[in-house]
Amino acid sequence: MEKRRPGQGGRGKPEGIRRPRKDDIGRTERPERRDKPEGKPWAERRPRREDTGKTERPERRDKPEGKPWAERRPRREDTGKTERPERRDKPEGKPWEERKPKEYGKSKPYKKESPKEDLIRLNKYISNSGVCSRREADKLILAGVVRVNGKVVTELGSKVSPGDKVQYEEQTISKERTKYILLNKPKGYITTVDDPEKRKTVMSLIEGACKERVYPVGRLDRNTTGLLLFTNDGNIAKKLTHPKYGIKKIYHVELEKSLTKTDLDKIREGLDLEDGMVEVDKIEYIEGTKSKKELGVELHSGKNRVIRRIFEHLDYKITRLDRVYYAGLTKKNLPRGHWRILDEHEVNMLKMISS
């Protein structure tokens, strides 16, 4: 391979073949510009104004009137006039010195907002209440199942004010953001919003959880522990408590004495209580326990105190009753007496169960 000589460029040209510089050939004038479209040499270029000795500005070429620079309109400071001329864009035509002086340092008076600014689109109002999305709300409006102040509204784009009464399926809805709170209820609290006897209520356990006013879904008696849901979504609360939808619930039951195999079979077949026949979906002994006092009971019935009444019917006394599963929700990572906000996945799951 041929060794590169000193001074040889990257393109392989030796130093002696490179293009000579201007100082090497003795030329001091600038060569003709190759990229100039006119092709005029450098010496024939247009002279600058300072080179010609002229101080006045030549006539403007881009001026449509064609007036020379000397005949331009004089500036105000050149004429010696200090007053401002009459405003041309002012319709009254009053001179500048007669205008009303501006008052600085004074704030503008408070302007009360117009009630029209509080209006909200009906589909957004329904969506904020948690009933459905905006697109689905438009379908409900077109179907004629939404009423505002007692009148059916079928026009898309309709707006409502905060004082209007909006109803869907004979249920009044609110524009508040829907909230869902899950509580692991301890023993000794009653499931009510307010108690005239001043006993401890479950509302004191979720105090400060949210600004919205929420209500417990269903009931757990005073000595029953476990999962309790709070929400301001009336649509979901209604469906979770209605027997038609058969919401799944699982209880951990501990009895004062062991449950016999005969009584276990009776519960599986169904019992006739004072308010009708009651059946459980599943009942089993808790695995890993030596005695047969602890059981797991799964059912869909929404009757009041149904678990306690089932065992009382067979002369068994319940010492501990804990709801460990409710509508797909569990007590995982939720200690007794604590609460948490449901995440988006859990809320969607509740809406699918109750749909």
Q: Indicate whether 66 belongs to any domain.
A: no
Same domain, 140 and 270: no
Q: Output the pLDDT for position 295.
A: 94
Q: What residues have CB less than 8 Å from 264, skipping those under 6 apart?
A: 283, 285
Q: Output the pLDDT for position 24.
A: 63
Q: Indicate whether 110 belongs to any domain.
A: no
Structural domains in the chain (count): 3
Q: Indicate whether 190 belongs to any domain.
A: yes
Q: Output the pLDDT for position 319.
A: 95
Same domain, 300 and 322: yes
Q: Indicate whether 5 belongs to any domain.
A: no
Q: Output the pLDDT for position 164.
A: 85
Same domain, 319 and 260: yes
Q: Indicate whether 75 belongs to any domain.
A: no
* CATH code of the domain containing 157: 3.10.290.10
Copy the structure tokens of residue 32.
């003709």
Q: Indicate whether 104 belongs to any domain.
A: no
Q: Indicate whether 46 belongs to any domain.
A: no
Same domain, 257 and 303: yes
Same domain, 271 and 300: yes
- Burial (CB < 10 A; 0-12, 13-18, 19+), residue 173, is buried
| Active-site annotation holds for 275 | no
Structural domain that includes position 133:
117-172
Same domain, 215 and 270: no
Same domain, 346 and 222: yes
Q: Output the pLDDT for position 312.
A: 93
Same domain, 322 and 255: yes
Q: Indicate whether 108 belongs to any domain.
A: no
Same domain, 192 and 124: no
Q: Output the pLDDT for position 180.
A: 93
Same domain, 257 and 236: no
* CATH code of the domain containing 228: 3.30.70.580
How far is the C-alpha of 314 from the C-alpha of 328, rounded, in Å? 30
CB 191 within 8 A of CB 221: yes
Q: Output the pLDDT for position 315.
A: 94
Same domain, 204 and 314: no
Same domain, 147 and 198: no
Q: Output the pLDDT for position 34.
A: 60
Copy the structure tokens of residue 143.
């179907």
Copy the structure tokens of residue 328.
């797909």
CB 86 within 8 A of CB 96: yes
Of the listed 221, 265, 275, 343, which one is catalytic? 221
Q: What is the pLDDT along the chain (355 residues), one digit of tens a residue?
A: 555 555 555 555 555 566 666 566 666 666 665 665 555 666 676 777 666 676 666 665 565 565 666 676 777 666 676 676 666 665 566 676 676 666 655 555 555 454 455 788 888 888 777 677 778 888 888 988 888 988 888 888 888 887 788 888 777 777 677 889 999 999 999 999 888 888 999 999 999 888 888 889 988 999 999 999 999 887 788 888 888 888 999 999 999 999 999 999 999 999 988 888 888 999 999 988 778 999 999 998 878 889 999 999 999 999 999 999 999 999 999 999 999 999 999 998 988 875 5
